[in-house]
Chains A and B, each alone.
Chain A
Amino acid sequence: MNWLTRTISKVFPRKKKSLDIAENAWIKCSQCQTMLYSSDLEKTLFVCPNCDEHLQIHPRIRFKNLFDGGVFEEIKYPSGFTDPLNFKALKTYKERFNDARQKTDMDDCFLIGYGQINNINVTIAAQNFHFMGGSVGASAAEAMIKAAEHSVTNHTPLIVFTCSGGARMDENQHSLQSLPKTTIACQMVKDAKLPYIVINTNPTSGGVSASFGSLGSITLAEPNALICFAGPRVISNTVGETLPDGFQRSEYLLEHGFIDQVVHRKELKDKLSQIISLLLKRVA
C-alpha cells in the first residue's frame, strides 16, 4: 500500500508540518550545552535562555515572528532539481538534496516572504543552514534573483538573512557562478534605489560572505555569529596562524569595520523598520 500512501500524501500534502524542527525535540545549546526543549525555544526566538546564544532558526519561524501578525506570503522561486555533474561522493547529490527537502520542508535553502514589518512592506529572504549547510547552488542563486525582482517590482526594501557554509560542491560551477549571479541580484535592488539590508547570522562564510552577504547597503549581524571567508579551521590548518580571541565573530567584525551594528534577535524587527523608515524618509 506504499504507493497509495504516497499518492494520498500528494493529494493531501503535508499539513502544518512546516515547523517540524520545532516540534517535540530537545536541542542542545551549541554554546553552553544546556538541553533545551524546542517549543520553549520558539518562545525565545531560538535564543538560549541560559547563555543568550543565538541558535539557528527555521526561516518560517523567523518570518512568523518578524512579519506583523505573523502574516506573510511565500514567494516561490525556480527550484527544479538539477544535477549537472551527476554528483556522487559518499552519497549522491540527489539523496542529500532530497534528505534536505524532507528535513526542512523547503524547496532549497532559501525561504522568501513578502509582508509588513511595523507596517512597512518588505521582501525578506532567509537561508536555512539545515538545508545542506545553507549552501548556494543554481536554485538558491535564482532565489536571490527572484527576491530582488520581487523587491524591485513591489518597491520594497530587500532584507536578506544569511546563514551558510558557502558553496554547494555538488554543483561545482553552478555554485561558483552564483557569486556573480547573486551579486547581480544586489545590484538590481541598489539600481532601483531600494535599501538592500543584510543580516549575517551564524554562520556566514565562503561564497555567501564573498558575494551577497558582504554587499549590503546596511549590514547587521546577530551576536556571536561566525562571519568569515575562510573558516577558522582552514586558517589554522593551512597557514598555521594562531587565531586571536573572538576572531571572525560578529563583535570582532564590528570592531574591524565590516558590520554596522550587532543586533539581538528580539530587537531586529524594530531596528529594521527604524533604518528603513529613515532611508525611505517615511513619516512615522
Chain B
Amino acid sequence: MNTYLEFEKPIEELDNKVHELKSLNDNAPSDNLLEEITQVEDKINETYKKIYSSISPWQRTLIARHPQRPKTREYIQNLIEDFFPLSGDRFFSEDKAILGGFGKFRGKTVLVIGHEKGHDTTSRIEHNFGMPRPEGYRKAQRLMKLAEEFDIPVISFVDTPGAYPGVGAEQRGQSEAIAKTTECCLSLGVPIVAIIIGEGGSGGAVAIGTGNTVLMLENSIYSVISPEGCSSILWKDNTKTVEAASALKLTAEDMLKIDVIDKIVKEPIGGAHRNPHRIIESVGDEIEKYLNLLSNQHGNDLKHARQERYLQIGRSGLFSDKTSAANTVLDEKFGKSGSKKRFFKGLLSRSILGVIAGLLFVGLLVYLFI
C-alpha cells in the first residue's frame, strides 16, 4: 500500500490506473494494454515534474518525513555487507533510535551509525520515532571511538525529528550527551561522511551529523527547529507551518548556498520513496566517492580540515562590519582607549563622511556664487 501526500493525490489516480491495466495485461497480455500502460506512466512522470517544479519548502518537509522514504535500516541492508550490529552505551541501556555497527561497504570495513525512525507502528515505537535518548548518543560516541582505534571510516545517516524531550532523557543528561557526541565527531582521527537522508532535526541531528563531508538528499530538510515549532514560537500561531518552512530556508538547495553541506544527492522523479533502490545506489556512489577522497589523509589532517570546515560556516559578512574589522586596525594604531576608538569609529562612519562632503559642497557653492 502506498501512502500519498495531499499534493501527490493526482498521482494516486494514475497509479491505480496503471495497477489496473497491469492486472488486465497479466490475465490477457496485449500490445494495446502495454502501450496504454506506457502512456499512463509517462503521464505520471509529467505530473510529477509539474508538481515538483513548484514544490514548497513545507511540501519538501512532508516528503522528508514520508513514511515510505527509505530509512537508515534500508540503506544498511542494501549497501552494507556482513553487517555486525552493536548495542548499548555501557552505562545505562541500549537505544534503538540510533543504529550502529561495523560492516563492509563496497569492499572496505566501515562503521555505520544512523538515526532509525522505523517503518510501521511497531517498529516506530521500538525506535522511538528516531528520537534518541542520551544512551543513543553515548553509544554513537563509543562506536566512533572504536572505529578510530581500528582506523575505520565512519558513515553517518541523519534522520531525526530531534532528540527525545523526556524526563528520563533530561535526568540522564541529554544536553551533555549531545555536546560530547559533537565533540567526539570533531576530534575523530578517521574520515566521517554524514548524509541527511530525511529530517535533520536540530541538535539531535548535528550530534552525529558533524563530518568531513556532509551530503544531503534533494528532498531532505535540515533545521534548528521544526516548521511547527517555529510557527508556534515566532508567529505565536500553530498554523503558520507553510510560512515558517519557507522563512527557515531549510532545503538542501539552501544548505548548499551557505556551505552547510557539500553536495546534494538528486532523488528520482517523485522523491526517494518512489524508487528506493535507485536513491540508495546513488547515495552509495556518493559516499564511495567522498570516502575515497578522504581515505589517504592523516588523522590529524582530517581533524583539522573538519574543524576548519565548521569554523568557516557563517563567517561571510560578519567580519565586514565597521565595529569589528575597522576596530582591530584602529586598536593597533591608537591603543585601546575607548573614547579615542569610539571617536575614530564615529569619524569613519558613512554619515560623517556624508556631512563632510555636504559641507564641502556648500562651501563650493558659496565660493562659486559670491
Which A residues contact B (CB, under 8 angstroms)? 3, 6-7, 10-13, 73-74, 76-82, 84-85, 87-90, 107, 137-139, 141-142, 145, 167, 169, 171-181, 183-184, 186-187, 206-207, 209-215, 227-230, 234-235, 238-239, 241-244, 247-248, 256-258
- Cα A8 to Cα B171 with chains together (Å): 54
Nearest Cβ on chain A to B173's Cβ, whole angstroms: 5
The A-B contact count (CB < 8 A) is 221
Contacts A180-B182, A183-B186, A238-B165; is A172 near B224 (CB within 8 Å)? Answer: yes
- Cα A256 to Cα B318 with chains together (Å): 39
Q: Which of B202, B244, B310, B327 contacts A167 (CB 8 A)?
A: B202
For B346, the chain A residues whose CB sits under 8 A away are 10-13
- The answer on a CB contact under 8 Å between A85 and B249 is yes
Which B residues contact A (CB, under 8 angstroms)? 163-167, 169-176, 178-180, 182-183, 185-187, 202-203, 206-207, 210, 222-225, 230, 233-236, 243-244, 247-250, 254-255, 258, 260, 307, 310-311, 313-321, 323-325, 327-328, 336, 338, 342-343, 345-347, 349, 351-352, 355
For B165, the chain A residues whose CB sits under 8 A away are 229-230, 234-235, 238-239
For A181, the chain B residues whose CB sits under 8 A away are 310-311, 313-314
- The answer on a CB contact under 8 Å between A174 and B320 is no
Nearest Cβ on chain B to A219's Cβ, whole angstroms: 9
Q: Which of B180, B250, B310, B321 contacts A215 (CB 8 A)?
A: B180
Contacts A229-B170, A229-B203; is A90 near B234 (CB within 8 Å)? Answer: yes
- Cα A199 to Cα B328 with chains together (Å): 29
Q: Which of A138, A180, A206, A213 contacts B318 (CB 8 A)?
A: A138
For B260, the chain A residues whose CB sits under 8 A away are 173, 177
- The answer on a CB contact under 8 Å between A177 and B310 is yes
- The answer on a CB contact under 8 Å between B250 and A142 is no
For A214, the chain B residues whose CB sits under 8 A away are 173, 175-176, 178-180
Nearest Cβ on chain A to B354's Cβ, whole angstroms: 9
Nearest Cβ on chain A to B194's Cβ, whole angstroms: 11
A-B pairs, top 7 by smallest CB distance, nearest first, are A80-B321, A230-B165, A138-B314, A89-B234, A82-B317, A209-B175, A174-B314
- The answer on a CB contact under 8 Å between B321 and A78 is yes
Q: Which of A12, A76, A186, A230 contacts B183 (CB 8 A)?
A: A186
- The answer on a CB contact under 8 Å between A169 and B318 is no
Task: Name 29 A/B residue pairs within 8 A (Cβ), A-sorted.
Answer: A7-B355, A10-B351, A78-B321, A79-B324, A80-B317, A82-B318, A85-B248, A138-B313, A167-B202, A172-B248, A173-B249, A173-B254, A174-B314, A176-B203, A176-B206, A179-B203, A181-B310, A181-B313, A187-B307, A210-B174, A210-B182, A210-B203, A211-B182, A213-B179, A214-B180, A229-B170, A235-B167, A242-B167, A256-B171
Contacts A186-B183, A235-B165; is A230 near B247 (CB within 8 Å)? Answer: no
**A108: nearest residue on chain B (CB-CB)?**
B318
Contacts A77-B324, A90-B236; is A179 near B206 (CB within 8 Å)? Answer: yes
- Cα A241 to Cα B133 with chains together (Å): 15
Nearest Cβ on chain B to A69's Cβ, whole angstroms: 17
